[in-house]
Amino acid sequence: MNFDLNDEQRAIKDTARELLASRFKLDKVRELAESGSYDDAIWKEIGGLGWAGIAVPEEHGGQGLGIVELMLLCEEVGYACAPLPLFSSAAAGLVIASAGSDEQRERWLPELSSGQVTAGIPATAPEDDSVMIDADGAAVLAFDRGEGPRLAEPSEVEISGLDLIDRTRRYSQLSGEGGQEIPGEIDWALAAITIAFAGELTGLAQRAMEMAVEYARDREQFGRPIGAYQGVSHACAKMLYDVEEARSLTYYAAWCADAQPESLPLAASMAKARASEAAWDVAAASLQVHGGIAFTWEHDLQFFLKRARVSSGLYGTPRRHRNRVADIAGLGSLEPATA
């Protein structure tokens, strides 16, 4: 038993942290958020590293690594609050790789994996307005309007932009039923996507916590750093509690997706529910620790706070995931399952 990243995983995470930090300084995040756009040059560079295909099998042009590695990249994207169509392209890649037809795989996976094209994917169920992520500008769209999963090119459906409070990502709504069916079973891919997204939420929470801790060390009131007051320091300690719970459950779920599929449904729901709540709670508490300054448009915490709020409701609200956890834990009609 070893519950820690191996050297390769650690290197992937560190490299991603460094690269994203240099490409997405908070000024850059702000610039992109305010213009509601992505930076094509940065995507060209990062996409070219094959991040979107990290968990796609090598025979389809991916790197053949696992959901743990993908989740780590997403965690770092969250940490940087990066406006970047990575998650959507990676998620579409997982769906196509695990459930697409041979033809669909050949058509899309090599280009998606190498970042040459991007994909748009759904972020909510059809009954929740079919919110899509990164659909505009995408070469291919995966979606499900309640008739089963489909794959379409943008010309085959209708996309209308959606302005959510989170402007570090592009959202839209989709109508129409064009394209082709995705023939395979997508349960595994959906769980894996949910977990990668929980990784992003964990990264958002981590950064919002670090911002609070740094501020609490520097800001002085009544003649001492505010972090010396327990009202503040205990709030920060609770942030770590939340972040570490989210991380434990998310890493575990990612590992289940790669190595222990029988535990996946429970693990994925626990990860998403916990990480959603952690991201919002930590961001909100971080704002409180900052005081008035973080309520201003000029302050960067808003990007984390808003992305956390919006993201927590995507890929299943925490409430829905907890309902599922309750079922699997033994309150459903099925026999109780263990983790």
Partner 1 sequence: MDLTLTTSEQAFRDEIRGWLEQNNPGAAPVAGDDAEFEFRRGWQKTMHEAGFAGLSWPEEYGGRGASMIEQSIFNQELALSRAPMPANVLGLVMGGPVVIAHGDTEQKERYLEPILSGEEIWCQGFSEPDSGSDLASLKTRAVKSNGGWRITGQKVWTTYAHEAKWCMLLARTDPESPKHRGITYFIFDMEADGVEVRPLRQITGEAEFNEIFFEDAYVPDENVVGEVGGGWQVAITTLMFERAGLGAAAAISVSNSLDDLIALIRERGLAEDPMVRDRVARLKMGVEALRLGGMRTLTRTMKAGIPGPEGSLGKWEWASVNQELGELAMDVLGPAAAVDGEEWTYRFLRSRANSIEGGTTEVLKNIVAERVLGLPKLR
Interacting residues with partner 1 between 86 and 115 (CB under 8 A)? none
| 8 A C-beta contact, residue 78 and residue 201 | yes
CB nearer to partner 1: pick between 128 and 244 = 244
Interacting residues with partner 1 between 13 and 72 (CB under 8 A)? 68
Interacting residues with partner 1 between 246 and 265 (CB under 8 A)? 248-249, 251-252, 255, 259-260
Which of 219, 240, 299, 300 forms a contact with partner 1 (CB under 8 A)?
240
CB nearer to partner 1: pick between 293 and 339 = 339
**DSSP of 7-59, one letter per residue?**
HHHHHHHHHHHHHHHHH--HHHHHHHHHHT---HHHHHHHHHTTGGGTTS-GG
293 binds partner 1 (CB under 8 A): no
Q: b/e map of 139-163 (b: 16 or more CB within 10 Å)? A: bbbbbbeeeebbbbebeebebeeee
User: How far is CA 21 from each of CA 74, 226, 269, rounded to the nearest angstrom?
Assistant: 14, 27, 30
Size of the site for partner 1 (CB under 8 A): 49
160 binds partner 1 (CB under 8 A): no
2 binds partner 1 (CB under 8 A): yes
CB nearer to partner 1: pick between 6 and 296 = 6
- C-alpha gyration radius of the chain: 20
Nearest approach, Cβ of residue 124 and partner 1 (Å): 20
Distance (Å, whole) CA 317 – CA 197? 12
Longest CA–CA span in the chain (Å) reads 68
Nearest approach, Cβ of residue 212 and partner 1 (Å): 9
Token pair 């305010």: residue: 34
Distance (Å, whole) CA 96 – CA 98? 6
337 binds partner 1 (CB under 8 A): no
CB nearer to partner 1: pick between 5 and 164 = 5
CB nearer to partner 1: pick between 155 and 338 = 338
**DSSP of 274-332, one letter per residue?**
HHHHHHHHHHHHHHHHHGGGGGSTTSTHHHHHHHHHHHHTSSS-HHHHHHHHHIIIIIS
11 binds partner 1 (CB under 8 A): no
Q: Quote the distance between the C-alpha of residue 120 and its chain's center.
A: 14
Token pair 């222990």: residue: 260
x-marked contacts with partner 1 along 270-289 as a string, rule CB under 8 A: x--xx---------------
234 binds partner 1 (CB under 8 A): yes
* Residues near partner 1 (CB under 8 A): 1-6, 9, 68, 213, 216-217, 224-225, 227-230, 232-234, 236-238, 240-241, 244-245, 248-249, 251-252, 255, 259-260, 270, 273-274, 319, 321-323, 325-326, 329-332, 336, 339
